[in-house]
Chain A
Amino acid sequence: MDRSDEELMLAYRGGEPRAFETLLHRHGKGIYRFALRFLGDRMRAEEVMQESFLRVLLAASRYEPRSSFRNYLYRITRNLCLDLIRKEPRARVQADGTGPCGPGPEDLPDRNPGPDLCVESEQLRFVIFKALQGLPPEQREVFLLKEVKEMKLQDVADVTGANLNTVKSRLRYALQALREELSRGGIRKEIGYGL
């Protein structure tokens, strides 16, 4: 039976480095994906991921399983992302020089289109990334955290430090904005799901 995150952390604190490896493989992908979609920059996402796990390591001797380890890890990552955004606002400028834009082609996820994708995968990726980067950070973080598997709305509130109603409100605005952005990107006709 798989050990819980908290048990693994305690095992690592007790001198079992392999326990941390399990944690890294369990949450590494989610953390990296969150950072990449939040920041829209592969290199900065890697930095944030590394820094997040290092901070957990450095605090391991004081770790007490009082709350969810996953929420703790995402809180660190989210704070690091916000710090980066504040310190280094994206300097990339559109080709026509009108202002900041979304991620460049090098920041897009690797090409691996699934068979069910209704639109051209390249266009879809770009539109989604652009839509996400257009969201205010507080809405973006709520939407991306809710994307993490098994993270409930209450967990998102815990990670962001906002109350549940605020989280719902931000998420609603985020979904509406994303919907509009996707429509502007020409993807509207492709999405139609009935009850």
Chain B
Amino acid sequence: MGCKACEEKLLEYLYGELKGADAATMEEHLAASEPCREVYRNFKATVELLAQQDEEPLPEQICTRIMAHAEELADRARARPRRWAWLFRPALVTAMVAVIAAGVYRYSLRTKGAFETKSPHAVSEFPAQAFREAPSAPGEGDKPVEHRELAKEKEKEKEEKPAVVRSMQQQTSALQTTAMDEVLPQEAAGRGGSVLSEPPRPTGEAKLARKGDAELAARPPAVSLPVPAGVAEPAFQAEAEVAPRAAAPFPAALRKALELAGAGRCRDALPLMEDFAERFPSDEACGQAWIELGRCFQREGQADRAGEMARKALAFPAQAEEADALLRSLKPDSQALP
């Protein structure tokens, strides 16, 4: 054994971990090598001196505290399995799993139905179909089959309609203040009429998107169909069946204004109408709405206001005749005739 090997094994020998032949070889080397023997002697002296230190007495107070914890924790460990043992009985576990699975299944069915029912676009985009397929009795709307059919039609409709129309409809729905499935009872004064199938006029991005869509630009103007006075939902259903499918729904803000006018709330309808007219001054639907609003004011006995509405309607050639008739009917009362 050389000094290098001795150095590597010296500590094992010092602490008595070297046994048998290895220990004998080490002893031979230490006997022959003075430097290694000196190192060994110093290490051994140091270790033995430090080992002479007195034994420290165990702090009894700490031991008592530790044992108190040990007993407390052992007690808790003994109590824990008993408390939850019932959870691991097979029959109970099976029953619990079955109940949870049934609940999850039922919930998933309900969630699916609710999704199809509550989608705002399902009705707002296709009011005609919604009315046609709407149940006559409350509660029937929960039937998932009908709504699935409605959703299918909606998908079909989406494919037919250009993307521009859809974006316009989304813009329009943002203006909506009431649910679109509420029916607007139209006052059929005179010859009676409805502007329900009036397409919306796009603004902003929709207008930009509309550029280049020649087909859409060449779309026919508003379709007005006669509706008997005082007839509500069934009349709309019939009307919707006749109305062309490509026609977009009437602008929501205008619809609301007309609804208010029909209910005799001309003052409430006027700001909505003015707002709409300000944003879409050339919209054909405006003319029709001014007429309706004028009639509303006429019924309220506010001839001057009615005259104002009629004069605004005169700006629209399609409504010029009606506006003129309204003005004539106001003539005895109105002082503001042109």
Contacts and interface: CB of A to CB of B under 8 A. Distances in A.
Interface of A: 12-13, 15-17, 20-21, 24-25, 28-29, 32-33, 36-37, 46, 49-50, 53-54, 57-58, 60-61, 109-114, 116-117, 124-125, 128, 146-147, 152-153, 168, 171-172, 175-176, 178-179, 182, 187, 191-195
Nearest to B57: A110
A32 B58 contact: yes
A175 B42 CA distance: 9
B52 A57 contact: no
A42 B30 CA distance: 41
B242 interface: no
Given A49-B59, A128-B53, A54 B17 contact: no
Contacts of A182: 46, 49
A112 B54 contact: yes
Contacts of A194: 41
Given A17-B71, A175-B46, A33 B78 contact: no
Interface in B36-77: 37, 40-59, 62-63, 65-67, 69-71, 73-74, 77
A179 B43 contact: yes
B38 to A, nearest CB: 11
B149 interface: no
Contacts of B71: 17
Contact of B12 (A50, A111, A153): A153
Contacts of A172: 11
Chain B interface SS verdict (over half)? helix
B56 to A, nearest CB: 5
Chain B interface size, under 10 / 10 to 19 / 20 to 34 / 35 or more: 35 or more
A15 B59 CA distance: 25
B11 A17 contact: no
A195 B30 contact: yes
B84 interface: no
B115 interface: no
A36 B56 contact: yes
B134 to A, nearest CB: 63
A49 to B, nearest CB: 6
Contact of A15 (B46, B57, B69, B74): B74
B73 A58 contact: yes
28 contacts: A12-B74, A13-B77, A17-B67, A20-B70, A20-B74, A24-B66, A28-B63, A29-B58, A32-B59, A36-B56, A46-B62, A49-B59, A50-B62, A53-B66, A57-B69, A61-B77, A109-B56, A112-B54, A114-B54, A117-B52, A128-B50, A147-B50, A147-B51, A153-B15, A175-B43, A179-B46, A191-B49, A195-B40
A12 B15 contact: no
B65 A50 contact: yes
A146 B15 CA distance: 9
Contacts of B70: 12, 17, 20-21, 24, 53, 57
Contacts of B41: 192-195
Q: Which 9 A-B residue pairings sit nearest by Cβ, starting from the closest?
A: A191-B45, A20-B70, A17-B71, A17-B74, A53-B66, A179-B46, A112-B54, A33-B56, A28-B58
A33 to B, nearest CB: 5
Nearest to A154: B17
A20 B56 CA distance: 21
A53 B62 CA distance: 10
A182 to B, nearest CB: 7
A28 to B, nearest CB: 5
Which of B11, B12, B31, B50 gathers most chain A CB within 10 Å? B50
Contacts of B73: 57-58, 60
A29 B56 contact: yes
Contact of A187 (B49, B58, B69): B49
Interface string B4-16: 0000100110010
Contacts of A193: 41, 44-45, 48
Nearest to A119: B49
A128 B48 CA distance: 12
A24 B71 CA distance: 13
